Structure 1
Amino acid sequence: MAGKTFENIARIVAAHQGKILEEWLDLLSKAGALESGRIKEAELKTQCRAFLDLLINGIAQSNGDASSSAFDRVRDMLSDISRTRAIQGFTPTETASFIFSLKQPLFNALKRATTADKSGADLNAEDSWPVTLLLDRLGLYTMEVFQKAREEVIVRQSREIAELSTPVVKLWDGILALPLIGTVDSERTQVVMENLLQAIVDQAAEIAIVDITGVPTVDTLTAQHLIKTVAAARLMGADCIISGIRPQIAQTMVHLGVELNVTTKATLADALQLALSRLGKNIIQARPDSQAARR
């Protein structure tokens, strides 16, 4: 399509901007854009009006290429909207409808111009096709940004959950415990190492107990992650004890030929008792005094 035609389209859209905005907001409302309560009607109207202004300027200064510099501000605005909606929990359909629901109002405006307005004398039905392609490309761009933002949110949340699920607990002076729950993968192992090593430094710990009671299965890869964690703790000057190895896990490790090369205990209590003995401390059951015994 020639640049002259796009200039005519921009002029027509600008002349019918009020009607286009009205129809666009009506379609968005019917599609449920306001039902979730995540965005207010005034905010949505402001976004639509601002986007329409940028779109008109972009069409007037380009040949319809959505990737051209004429649409830089359009893409910037769509990026901001997509990222914000991804964080706010909008669905992909709700986000995509912001662009795709604009098609019908634009087509209606061009149709009215070609049949009634003198300004549309240089346009015909085929001239609306490049506008369709333009909105499709902008819609796809919106979804790409939205998807990327959603993935970033998921990764960040996964990291936060991993940090929360790997607390390092001080059991005694010089003794730390790291209870693991769930699957131990490479990314989580990195978080475990960082938390454990930092705690060893902060607490000047001599012994670290890694409890795997909550780990459902231990395969070769999981064992390698545990070995790395133990090795890192040893480099920091802390000895390690692994507790919580259930009979099923022990059998699996034997079949796999996995050797942890570290002291293991069946329960956390046993591991704590061993850790205390290594520090020269013993657990003694207190005897009640005579008065307490009479009561």
Structure 2
Amino acid sequence: MTMDGAEVLLRTVTEDATAILDEWIAALRQSGTLQSGRIREAELRTQAEAVFTQFREALSSDGLDTTAKGFAPVLDTLGDASRSRALQGFTPTDTANFVLALKEPIFAALRRTCGLDASGLAAGVSATGAVLDRLSLHTMEVYMASREAVIGRQGQEITELSTPVVRLWDGILALPLIGTLDSARTGVVMETLLQAIVEEEAEIAIIDITGVPTVDTLVAQHLLKTVAAARLMGADCIVSGIRPQIAQTMVHLGVELNVVSKATMADAFAVALRRTGRKVVRRQAAPDGERR
């Protein structure tokens, strides 16, 4: 007669619940989960107790079918724990080990429960491995999705921070760009610049590409889009930061920006001042004894 692994597993986790839970907590403690300081033992125990109780109830109602309604509570709890670990900086190994560390305590309990019943022990071990592996995969899927969301949000924040618009003078703005200019970032750059042009009523915007490592045809297209959008808002653009290497590359590729360009931001600023009817003059030194 073939033993039902789900029944053996349910009987084991019901009759030997205290020992399994204590051994699980001990295994998590030995794995170094608590040494990182990201989670306290009391919180870890609370999570483990909740997961274990919901796991036992799910086994009682739906056996090994983790897609059944009875497993929804334990999946939700594991998902919340995984999202929390992703935000706290836990490694994928630590996150997966939260579930996988439960295997050995249950295996030990199965040996105690089944004794010499080899077929019952084999069925219980097989059932345990199957259901815990699926739960572990769920924790990793939620963890990876959460990490991707965090990385995406951080990337967006970095992009926004790396495109500051600086007010150099009344009606003159500067937009220093650092890093690669791709389609996604071009949208942020354009939006930031246009908003600043409206707020400052700017006449001229200096786009400085000193920090852009390379300028190819695609980057030039992104720059032209930004320049065209600024012109529609009534502001002229000057591109600064054209280094010799970039100039040679652009000539070789046949790239034409069709916009005033200067080697340095200082040169571009001087042009902007002239266009707005201003100039910078050196103040003459006051004679000795006179108040400066």
Shorter-normalised TM range: over 0.9
Q: Note the alpha carbon deviations across 1:32-61, whole angstroms, 9 max, x for none.
A: 011100001111011100100010011111
Please name the residue that 2:61 is paired with: 61
Q: Is the 8 A contact 1:206 1:238 kept in 2?
A: yes
Please show how residues 1-295 of structure 1 align to structure 2 within 5 Å.
6-7=6-7, 9-115=9-115, 123-291=120-288
TM-score by length of 1: 0.93
Query: More deviation in 169-178 or 73-82?
Result: 73-82
Q: Is the 8 A contact 2:3 2:119 kept in 1?
A: no
For 2:118 and 2:113, the matched residues in 1 are separated by 8
Q: Partner of 2:274: helix, strand, or coil?
A: helix
Give the drift of 1:249.
0.3
Distance 1:293 1:267, change over 3 A: farther
Which letter does structure 2 place at the counterpart of 1:109?
A
Which letter does structure 1 place at the counterpart of 2:195?
Q
Give the drift of 1:14.
2.0
For 1:28 and 1:240, the matched residues in 2 are separated by 60
Q: Is the 8 A contact 1:5 1:122 kept in 2?
A: no
Count of aligned positions: 291
Q: Is the 8 A contact 1:99 1:135 kept in 2?
A: yes
TM-score by length of 2: 0.94
Q: Is the 8 A contact 1:86 1:150 kept in 2?
A: yes
For 2:40 and 2:61, the matched residues in 1 are separated by 32
Q: Partner of 1:56: helix, strand, or coil?
A: helix
Query: More deviation in 77-86 or 184-193?
Result: 184-193
For 2:121 and 2:164, the matched residues in 1 are separated by 67
Give the drift of 1:125.
2.3
Q: Note the alpha carbon deviations across 1:11-49, whole angstroms, 9 max, x for none.
A: 431221110011101111111011100001111011100
Q: Is the 8 A contact 1:33 1:94 kept in 2?
A: yes
Q: Name the Cα RMSD after superposition.
A: 2.1
For 2:289 and 2:228, the matched residues in 1 are separated by 49
Query: More deviation in 186-195 or 98-107?
Result: 186-195
Q: Percent identity?
A: 57
Q: Partner of 1:285: helix, strand, or coil?
A: coil
Show structure 1 runs of 4+ deviating over 6 A: 292-295
Q: Is the 8 A contact 2:5 2:127 kept in 1?
A: no
Q: Note the alpha carbon deviations across 1:232-267, whole angstroms, 9 max, x for none.
A: 111211111100101110110011111111111111
For 1:163 and 1:216, the matched residues in 2 are separated by 19
Q: Partner of 1:241: helix, strand, or coil?
A: strand
Give the drift of 1:127.
3.3
Q: Is the 8 A contact 1:6 1:62 kept in 2?
A: no
Give the drift of 1:131.
2.0
Distance 1:293 1:11, change over 3 A: same
For 1:292 and 1:264, the matched residues in 2 are separated by 45
Which letter does structure 2 place at the counterpart of 1:78?
L
Gaps spanning 5+ residues in structure 1: where?
none
